[in-house]
Amino acid sequence: MRLGDLVIDVTPLRTSRDFRFLFAARLVSLLGLGLTLVALPLQVWQITHSSWHVGLVSVVNMVPMLIGTLAGGVLADRMDRRRLILLARGSAVIVFAVLALNAAAPSPYLWVIYASAAVNSVLNGLSATALMATTPNLVGRDQLPAAGALMAITAELGAIAGPSAAGVLTEFAGLPWNYGLTAVATLVTTALIAFIEPQPPAGGDIEEESPLRSIAGGLRFVASNRLITGLLLIDMVVVVFAMPAAIFPELTEKLYGDGGTVLGLFYAAPGVGAMIAALASGWTGTVKHTGRHLIWATAACGVAVAGLGLTADRLWAALFFLALLGAADTISEILRRALLQHNTPDHLQGRVSSLWLAQTNVGPAVGSVEVALAARVAGPAMALIAGGVLCAGGAVAVGAASRKLRDAGLHGPSADDLLEAAP
């Protein structure tokens, strides 16, 4: 491997005008949404002084997000995907404006927060699915790993900078400014997306199908394609067994007393590892056996979680394994997404993307419940060790059961190429 292969590949930004607009739009959007990650739970706490209500916001977000994601998959395969993103993000501007006005009122309404969060989750599901479905057309199938790494960079920057700015903004200006700036950022996002060329789906014709029949068509494709099935299974292994954040507060309190500072380090360390991995991801687009690298990257997630369980009482070792988890998960996600998009025909990109995103959104919630229950029964350290072993073992098992996944690569013909070559 050459040294140059360790540097993130920015070719999609250099060669695709539309991808540059998409990249900028996503970065601005995630920075804005990062403000609400702090504002929403904080405002609910200020109104109710109830952790139950704060937790309920996450539930209110999850179910509409699932609905929006599945609906977005159907819509993205039957209408211009750029238009769908514009409609979703343009509507979100109104949602954030409503939240800002509600926060500025003398007595903010709790139901407005819940309703706005639910509507915004639907809109996020619609736009995220359309964005994922249109990316292959903007960069070309040979640049999918590079595009995935660049998108990972935007996610990490948004996760770090958005909440950090939200804390300062809330303290010195107040919650209405948080929501107001999110509305402005979303408006800028919408304007940037408008510069992209129209992105109608190519091939296929589902306009006469009912939405349920369209979703069923996507499920049939996934079930009949062993590679896509393997990708979704290995993704489930990660999100269920390698997402330990739910027990960080308990773990740090038991091992480090108050744990406030340490807790912050525990939450930040995976992001540091993820950023390093994304910046050094140039090799992901050049390796021959992409599927095998994916299997080992997923297994590394399990090794990192088990390592955390074994070393949680030694701070620097624990932070190392958390950073390793973030790095391995980022590489795994880049490779999973690239293989999924490379091997899905364009007319199915929306529905297959929606199934993948639905699993990505629901899986961590299942994983949080699983690790919390395991920690209650066996203790946090044993819960982490068991989850890590299950993740690593599950990745190897899926790889062993799926030769298609083991042999998958990104340098052969894409799904659309195979369709065009078919008699």
CA 240-244-247 angle, to 5 degrees, is: 125
* Each residue's pLDDT tens digit, 1-49: 554 566 888 999 999 999 999 999 999 998 888 888 778 888 888 888 8
* Each residue's pLDDT tens digit, 105-121: 999 999 999 999 999 99
Structure tokens at 9: 């590949």
Q: Encode burial over 229-255: b for 16+ CB neighbours within 10 A, e otherwise.
A: bbbbbbbbbbbbbbbbebbbebbbeeb
- pLDDT score of 362: 76
Higher pLDDT, 58 or 385: 385
Dist CA 354 CA 144 (whole Å)? 18
Listed in sequence order, the DSSP H helices in 312-343 are 315-342
Task: Return the percentage of the chain with pLDDT > 90, whole number.
Answer: 49
Lowest pLDDT segment from 96-110, 146-160, 200-214, 360-374: 200-214
* Each residue's pLDDT tens digit, 282-326: 889 888 889 999 999 999 999 999 999 999 889 999 999 999 999
- pLDDT score of 171: 76
Tell me how far the alpha carbon of residue 134 is from its chain's centroid: 16
- pLDDT score of 15: 93
pLDDT category of residue 366 using cuts at 50, 70 and 90: confident
For the cut 80, the answer to whether the pLDDT of residue 379 exceeds it is yes
DSSP 268-319: HHHHHHHHHHHHT-GGGGT-S-HHHHHHHHHHHHHHHHHHHHHHTTSHHHHH
- pLDDT score of 371: 82
- pLDDT score of 338: 92
Distances (CA, A) of 124 to 27, 84, 121, 152, 369: 14, 11, 5, 17, 24
- pLDDT score of 213: 79
Q: What is the mean pLDDT of residues 277-281?
A: 91
* Each residue's pLDDT tens digit, 391-422: 999 999 999 999 999 999 888 776 665 555 54
Dist CA 385 CA 371 (whole Å)? 10
* Each residue's pLDDT tens digit, 157-200: 877 777 777 777 877 888 899 899 999 999 999 999 999 999 99
pLDDT category of residue 258 using cuts at 50, 70 and 90: low
- pLDDT score of 46: 85
